Structure 1
Amino acid sequence: MPAFDHAAVTLHEALTLPPMAAGRPQLLSPGVSLEHPVRWAHVIGEPRPGPLLQGGELILSTLPLLHEGRQDLEELLRGYLEDLDDVDAAGLAVEVLPERPRLAAALERVCAERAERPDAHTLTPVLRFSQVVRFVEITEHLHRELVARQLRTGGHIRDQDPLLEATSALLEDLAAVPPLAEAVAVERARSLGLPSSARLIPLVFAVDASAGALPQRGWSLEALAGVVRQAGAQLHMPLLVGSCHHRSLAVLAAAPAGMDVQRPTARLCRAVERSLRRRLPEAALRCTAALGEPAQSLHGARRELDAAWEVAALAASLRGRGRHLRPAVPEFWTAGDIRLWGVLAELERRDVVERLLAHELRLLRGTDAETRDLRALIEALVRTRGSKTQLAARLGVSRPTLYARLESLERRLGRPLDDGETLTTLHVALMLEELSGSDLPD
């Protein structure tokens, strides 16, 4: 790949990329400038591409709907190119093989007409491949060069982030009904820079609600995406970053077969956190990272991103509310870290559940010392799994005092504590009460 000196990739530079140059494109627009900056590349087959574009794109197409039997080829081509002119596209590169002579001739005539216009130098450049080319390889090379330049310039995003947009579109199509075919999804992911892998790591960064002033402070999901991509590049970890939920980023990373995915994920999360701390010292931007289960397919990874987002949202809402809630790996959360607290968070506002669990605590109301000791005894029983030695040590009491408290608790409940369901129900009720921040209703 050639070394480019400027932050933007021009159409002229894009033509020197190996898969583009190998196709030997013929310029059909003499006199136009090839210094148009290429913002992104799209493979489009629709006859009117304008509504799909934002400007600055290099369009790659075989013009599949302009078949040899049509009598309006020139009219269709004029409309197609006018669409590209209107959005200021960077260029059009079409593959028209020798077995389509009528289309090739119509394309040459329309381009000759455009060359005679007074504003010809401002129109969209048109190039033609007369041999088979691999569009996916062209987009893959171009996108990698665009991302590399973005990283070299500090990952700053001024307007739209085309890589974020393209990845978000891929994630949306994977979740559509009917969903995108896996083979097509793999090709699109590869064109965006994600190599084929035996497993995919699904990771979500959810922005806490406390970062409400994020755009006004110069931060956005686009800026955060740049930070994540830069961290991945520093760790030589190929990944895609898109958005598939409100105020969150979805990350898909390639993982070699047999690799423990938690270790590289922790490194990535640490690198992202370091960058955020450096760029935003007051820590106004807070992210909660959550990891899904590794997946063997893009569709499986997409489902795991949804699951990871739910974990991240629950972890963010529970953080600081559950005294014992800590992830096993400090850098990110998993479903195994949320456990019963997550279930209770979903049930927190359900009146029937609250009333049933409140009933379990009806005999443990009050603020006197004995009631507080009995509540602590229930939590300690769960933590020590019934071991009297560990239980006494945890509570800091003697064995006789412990036995007296156990008898007092059983008298209040009217049930033996060796009944597992009794102890579990009481513990769940206490957890839900703590989660709600106040006593459950009587």
Structure 2
Amino acid sequence: MLLTVADVVATPVVQAGEPEIVSGVNLDRAVRWVHVSDQADIANVLVGAELILTTGQALAAPESARERYLRSLADAGVAGLVVELGSYVSELGPVVADTARELGLPVIALHRVTRFVEITEAVHRVIVADQYAELEFARTVHETFTELSVRRAALAEIVRTAASMLDASVVLEDLAHRVLAATARHTSSSSLLDNWESRSRMLPEGDHVVAVGPHTQRWGRLILRSERVHTPRARMVLERAAQTLTLHRMIDTDRFGLHRRAQTGLIADLIEGRVTNERDAQARAAALGLARRARYVPLAVEIETTTAPSDPVAAQRHSLAIVDAVTHGLGLASASALSATELATPTATEQRGTERIAIVLAMSPGRDVDDQLDRVCATVLAELRRVDGVRRAVIGVGADSDSLLDAARELVAAASVASVARSLAGGPDRMFFRSADIRLRGLLSLIRDEPGVQSFAETELSALLRYDIRHAADLTGTLRRFLDLAGNKTELARILKISRPTLYDRLARIERILAVDLDDGESRTSLHTALLIRELTGADKL
């Protein structure tokens, strides 16, 4: 960190000159360099933040020339002026002092002869050492985060490394202000994250808040919770950590054996249209062990785990155990299948991971599809429950078909059904879910973690949420109940146990804050959708 003018004045070599503060304004200015000169027109060669050392020749001129000299230094952005008295001037006088204070220019007079070279050596030694330290720090930052990128470190480790480098608390959040990972330093985790959403919403953008994700597809923010960290260092570390987090999310996490990779590759080719011939598709599938049968059924198994291992090796072993359980279950049910494994996006409000396995089943012709699915899914789910750390598993089923190509394309729909089914709480236990088993809330569950959806909800509700934070109010809750009751004000007043005039006042306040008309159907739909998104992401419970 650069020395200030006050720091330079406090050095022993300057103190030996018996310094007098003639103009004490802006003594906290940083000194980039020290320059020795008696020239009156020295400002023409300055670039700013220099500390000028002079014997005062320019200050021995008439009053108007002295004022021009001081003004030229101030206009050049110098850090300050140090004048050795005796050679040209015995004192600086009120004109210099008043003009310098008016210009905001620090001026120090030295009453004893001082070797300027000793001052420049002392200050430049510190400046150069500081610059070297910054270069060394930058090299360490680059090497550390490059190594994390190469070995695909987990989100938590990347955040933990940034916090360690800055010796300060760092939080990674998504666009809905939900904490994805956090490391607390010099405080407890509970203190760091208490009432996080409200506090995060009020944080201004700046050097301590860095966006995460590609420029056009931001998906989160990395936040430093400390004001005492050197700002350039903070920005450097946060930006490098954000780049590593972006790469982490972009990198494919295919981690298993050649056979599984081949199955994964075939399913990807089928879904993305790289295989367009049905016979070619069936031939490739048969080469990987899929029986040639009449009906192909797409399944997506979504597995929610109680913990997300931060250690990469432990995470890989856990994922392998899950895949083995599914494979074993399919074998016990004598099911012929192709499978592909992918890491699903974890729910940000939960401290657990989610993995998804896509399956194409080859079903025996002439038998009821649902009966066969009941048996296969029951066996797979039973095997998954045996795996340590598996909290819940659901299976989504797409439309079955005689065509392998058509069935593979339905895997996307099956995954959507599984994701929605996992988000629906309180329903009866089922072996599998089809699209007919989910509704609007399920549809929103499917897209709740998309940055665009989170941005929509924020745009619709942020003004009201900020109002509630500032005024310790709950107008958001009033709006939710109003929309849930389809605008029935009489019933809402009864539920809230308030008078009709009080309710009308609250609703009018909501309309003013959000600049909407609550009698407008489209406005109600948009607001209700935004509130459902908050509920599904768990943001309304934070």
Q: TM (normalized to structure 2)?
A: 0.38
Larger radius of gyration: 2
Q: TM (normalized to structure 1)?
A: 0.45
Q: Which one has more relative contact order, counting CA pairs under 8 Å at least 6 apart?
A: 1
Comparing both structures, which one devotes a greater share of its residues to strand? 2
